[in-house]
Amino acid sequence: DRSDITYFGAGPALLPTTVLETAAKSLVNYNDTGLGLAEHSHRSELATKIVEEAKADLASYLDIPDDYEVLFMQGGGSGEFSATVYNLVNVWVERRRQRILQEAGIGAGKEISEDVILTELRKAVEQDLKIDYLVTGSWSLKASQEAARLVGPEYVNIVADGRKTNDGKFGKIPDEKDWKLSKNAAMVYYCDNETVDGVEFPSFPKALEPVGEDGPIVVADMSSNILSRRIPIKNFSLIFFGAQKNLGSTGITVVIIKKSLLPPAVGTPAPSLMRKLGLPVGPIVLSYETIAKNKSLYNTLSIFDVYIAGQVLKKALATFADKVDGQQILAEKKSKLIYAALDAHPESYKVVPDKSSRSRMNICFRVTHGDSIDAAEKLFLKQATEKGLTGLKGHRSKSSQIPFKELIASSQYPKAMALQTKSRDEVNA
């Protein structure tokens, strides 16, 4: 039974029982319409209402300013590894094109041929196009690899690699003074919380703070720590996250994007121009412009998954009078409790990441009790399961790369975290 176990899985993660019960009813018969939510058209009025309400509740919970757009997309966090590249390289090219036109005096009666524009753009791409990645764990590494695959490694700049300053392993965010940021990068990308490695940025990096109107284009993957602390949205151009960890069920991906990256502020270059420049043209379903223009309903969206996300947000808004700040206090309290317990027993446990970058969401530790870590971790997992503590085993990548299994616990809201066994709803509250 659900109340017998406390689940620590990082994602798909635990959802509040009340949300699941409401969603289960809606799956059969939504609001007495006689039809289940997964059967209603995404073009129906009720679908639009669900989408708009979820957007508004997310904006309210996180205090998203008016000059940002919330998009519901598909393709998961991995889809966004590609989407961010396609879209922001487009923006970079379009802004450059505009600059070339302006410098040539277009609009002031002068003319410039398409050939000259193309030559100028080719030169700009060759000399200046860079996409910056801060690699602090396996997810930002994957994102940087996807960029290299799509546009070519020559355009990818690794600003810093956490392994280089930490004995070849992820676990520490490199000192900002050693970061090698490009000038006018198409974006500076980082993963705010590395799920597998348990590495989280303690706060917004000083080096990425906006300078006047022309701050860097900062993009963050917040798949595994969104909704868990207040974020300075204004400092970001784009934030994305898959819903399955901290928001709802698998099936939708959320993008919070600054409107200045969308039309009418900036258009999309013609696909033929991108091809001439040797740059990729992305799939239409990953185009932020297209999704924004169609209010997230360009093609069939899983309204049921949006509904679940919306219900989680409504529960969060009802639980925390001070919204995300309330959740932040809880997340900090929970993770401190667990780290304190682990640190108190150095003979039995070793926390993997450095103290300076410890995640409040995914607590990675080894069980070192006895002669063999492998045996100790097996025993730990067995005994944990007997106590109803499940989902504690680490990411599969860890078991193949290193001989022992990493252990990851999750403190996400609305996911379980308490070490003592409680009923699921007590834990969620």
Q: Which residues bind ligand PMP (CB under 6 A)?
A: 11, 76-78, 139, 191, 195, 221, 223-224, 242
Contact 131, 89 (CB under 8 A): yes
The residue ranges of DSSP E strands in 39-101, in sequence order, are 68-73
DSSP state of 181: P
Q: Are strands 187-191 and 199-200 parallel, antiparallel or unpaired?
A: unpaired
For ligand PMP, the closer of residues 150 and 273 by Cβ is 150
> Do 231 and 221 contact (CB within 8 A), yes or no?
no
Contact 277, 121 (CB under 8 A): yes
Between 26 and 223, name the residue whose CB sits nearer to ligand PMP. Answer: 223
Closer CB to ligand PMP, 76 or 205, in the complex: 76
Between residues 80 and 132, which has the closer beta carbon with respect to ligand PMP?
80
The minimum distance between CB 363 and ligand PMP, in angstroms, equals: 14
Q: Which is nearer to ligand PMP, 3 or 74 (CB)?
A: 74
Q: CB of residue 198 vs ligand PMP: minimum separation in angstroms? A: 11
- For residues 199 and 170, what is the distance between their CA atoms, to the nearest angstrom? 8
Nearest-approach distance from CB 254 to ligand PMP, in angstroms: 11
∠ at Cα 193 (220, 83), nearest 5°? 35
How far apart are CB 286 and ligand PMP at their closest, in Å? 13
Cβ-based nearer residue to ligand PMP, 205 or 269:
205
User: Taking the CB of residue 35, how many other CB atoms lie within 10 A of it?
Assistant: 15
User: Pick from 383, 382, 347: which is nearest to 366 by CA?
Assistant: 347
Minimum distance between the CB of residue 140 and ligand PMP, rounded to whole angstroms?
A: 8
- Shortest distance (Å) from residue 197 CB to ligand PMP: 10
CB contact at 8 A, 254 and 73: yes
Q: What distance in Å separates the CA atoms of residue 217 and residue 229, rounded to the nearest whole number?
A: 21
DSSP state of 175: P
